[in-house]
């Protein structure tokens, strides 16, 4: 087993910089998820670790060994591609055995390893079938099995579940988590744009920036445990990326500053306090107040601390809960998660309470003010 270290890693194609200054440490056995919007460079970064793409500048180590110039086969990593990349003319057993055969492993050894992994992944019934005679989910398991039999030091997964339907995606996600915990405790790097996969699988999330932020702040938006990123997002981008439905953002200005936090005046004149440090802000500064749909409460009174009113535009009953879509800012509705039995209707004015311990504040440049607690 081996940890992975990246130090000031950059990647450019001619004049286009795709990855800007990534430094991170993935501990031995850790499950690390790279997540971010389409085109932010997740696959590129993973392929650089696999050795399939050159590193323009910076240093990369696997198990303490510098691998910048090493070929993929010398890095002891196994990669599972989004497209599965199975050999169509080989059956399942041959597909799984191929890498071992190249590595010169004995026939008996190959057979027993393939049989063991195939039975664990419940694909032992298909060993003699060609990939075209398998469903997407079964092919995915073969691709995972092929990576597992090689018993690598590092597993690399590039969006392995994106071709599966919703039910199978959830099932395979749980399987991958279980495999990592119980069987292959190798360091794992998993790429996805799905924030639920990132939240549920990761020990550590690396959220990547996109667009102009890459040149401005570097490729890494934030690194941390799922809950760290969820509860303490460092920027409006991170806050909006993790969580579904998304965090609500209300435009406002700083109205007052106290030891317990910052008081914001919304564009419609409500005063909302947030338990955040008034770091680098002054009264009158434009800010955004962020609060997640699950933290907003249906208020029983029309007035009181951190109570405001907005008109309901739409209501969705999901069975387990109800979402009220209130008039929001910048043409984005403000979403409130309510009890399933809530009887609210479009057109009504709703009183809501924004708990100050759950309120985030972001400066105009997108940086978060540090939260005092919660």
Ligand X SMILES: Nc1ncnc2c1ncn2[C@@H]1O[C@H](COP(=O)(O)OP(=O)(O)OP(=O)(O)O)[C@@H](O)[C@H]1O
Q: Which is nearer to Mg ion, 43 or 170 (CB)?
A: 43
> What's the closest the beta carbon of residue 36 comes to ligand X, in angstroms?
6
Which residues face 156 on adjacent strands?
A: 79, 189
How far apart CA 97 and CA 108 sit, in angstroms, is: 11
Q: Of Mg ion, ligand X, none, which one sits near residue 41, judging by CB under 5 to 8 A according to partner kind?
A: ligand X
Q: Which residues, other chains included, contact 162 with Cβ-Cβ below 8 Å and sequence gap of 6+?
A: 82, 192, 194
Q: Please state the three-class secondary structure of 41-56 as a single string.
A: CHHHHHHHHHCCCCCC
Residue 199 phi, psi (nearest 5) = -65, -40
Q: Of ligand X, Mg ion, none, which one sits near residue 134, judging by CB under 5 to 8 A according to partner kind?
A: none
> What's the closest the beta carbon of residue 40 comes to ligand X, in angstroms?
4
Q: Which is nearer to ligand X, 116 or 218 (CB)?
A: 218
Residue 154 phi, psi (nearest 5) = -135, 130
> What's the closest the beta carbon of residue 134 comes to Mg ion, in angstroms?
23
Q: Give me Rg for the CA atoms of the chain.
A: 24
Q: Of Mg ion, ligand X, none, which one sits near residue 16, judging by CB under 5 to 8 A according to partner kind?
A: ligand X
Q: Which is nearer to ligand X, 207 or 326 (CB)?
A: 207
Q: Which residues, other chains included, contact 307 with Cβ-Cβ below 8 Å and sequence gap of 6+?
A: 270, 299, 301, 351, 352, 353
How far apart CA 289 and CA 249 sit, in angstroms, is: 6
> What's the closest the beta carbon of residue 237 comes to Mg ion, in angstroms?
19
> What's the closest the beta carbon of residue 192 comes to ligand X, in angstroms?
8
> What's the closest the beta carbon of residue 105 comes to ligand X, in angstroms?
32
Residues interacting with Mg ion, by CB under 5 A? Answer: 43
Q: Which is nearer to ligand X, 184 or 207 (CB)?
A: 207
Nearest-CB residue for Mg ion: 43
Q: Of ligand X, Mg ion, none, which one sits near residue 40, judging by CB under 5 to 8 A according to partner kind?
A: ligand X
Q: Which is nearer to ligand X, 53 or 285 (CB)?
A: 53
Cα 281 to chain centroid, rounded:
30
Q: What is the DSSP letter of 96?
A: H
Q: Which is nearer to Mg ion, 157 or 325 (CB)?
A: 157
Q: Which is nearer to ligand X, 42 or 173 (CB)?
A: 42
For residue 183, give the 3-state DSSP assignment.
helix
Q: Of Mg ion, ligand X, none, which one sits near residue 146, judging by CB under 5 to 8 A according to partner kind?
A: none
> What's the closest the beta carbon of residue 221 comes to ligand X, in angstroms?
13
Residues interacting with ligand X, by CB under 6 A? Answer: 13, 16, 18, 36, 38-44, 193
Q: Of ligand X, Mg ion, none, which one sits near residue 180, judging by CB under 5 to 8 A according to partner kind?
A: none
For residue 367, give the 3-state DSSP assignment.
strand
Question: What tokens appear for 348 in the block?
Answer: 């009504």
Quick one: 43 exposed, middle or buried, by C-beta within 10 A (0-12, 13-18, 19+)?
Answer: middle
Quick one: 70 exposed, middle or buried, by C-beta within 10 A (0-12, 13-18, 19+)?
Answer: middle
Q: Of ligand X, Mg ion, none, which one sits near residue 370, judging by CB under 5 to 8 A according to partner kind?
A: none
């Amino acid at each position: 087993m081996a940890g992975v270290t990246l130090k000031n890693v950059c990647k450019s194609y001619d004049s286009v910089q795709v990855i800007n200054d990534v430094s991170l440490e993935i501990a031995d056995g850790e499950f690390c998820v790279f997540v971010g919007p389409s085109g932010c460079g997740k696959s590129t970064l993973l392929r650089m670790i696999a050795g399939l793409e050159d590193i323009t500048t910076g240093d990369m180590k696997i198990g303490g060994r510098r691998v910048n110039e090493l070929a993929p086969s010398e890095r002891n990593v196994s990669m599972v591609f989004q497209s599965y990349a199975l050999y169509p003319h080989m059956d399942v057993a041959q597909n799984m055995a191929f890498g071992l055969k190249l590595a010169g492993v004995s026939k008996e050894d190959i057979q027993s390893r393939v049989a063991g992994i195939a039975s664990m992944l419940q694909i032992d019934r298909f060993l003699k079938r060609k990939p075209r005679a398998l469903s997407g989910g079964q092919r995915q398991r073969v691709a995972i099995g092929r990576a597992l039999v090689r018993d690598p030091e590092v597993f690399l997964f590039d969006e392995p579940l994106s071709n599966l339907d919703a039910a199978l995606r959830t099932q395979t996600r749980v399987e991958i988590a279980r495999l990592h915990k119980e069987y292959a405790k190798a360091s794992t790097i998993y790429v996805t744009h799905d924030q639920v996969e990132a939240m549920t699988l990761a020990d550590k999330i690396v959220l990547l920036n996109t667009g102009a932020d890459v040149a401005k702040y570097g490729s890494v938006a934030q690194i941390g445990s799922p809950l760290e990123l969820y509860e303490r997002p460092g920027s409006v981008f991170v806050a909006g990326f993790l969580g579904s439905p998304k965090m609500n953002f209300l435009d406002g200005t700083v109205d007052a500053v106290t030891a317990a936090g910052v008081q914001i005046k919304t564009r419609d004149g409500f005063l909302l306090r947030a338990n955040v440090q008034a770091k680098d802000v002054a009264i009158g500064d434009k800010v955004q107040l962020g609060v997640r749909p699950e933290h907003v409460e249906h208020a029983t009174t029309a007035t009181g601390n951190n109570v405001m009113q907005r008109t309901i535009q739409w209501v969705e009953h999901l069975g387990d809960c109800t979402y009220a879509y209130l008039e929001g800012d910048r043409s984005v509705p403000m979403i409130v998660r309510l009890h399933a039995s809530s009887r609210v209707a479009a057109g009504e004015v709703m009183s809501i309470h924004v708990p100050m311990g759950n309120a985030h504040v972001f400066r105009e440049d997108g940086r978060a003010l540090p939260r005092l607690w919660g």
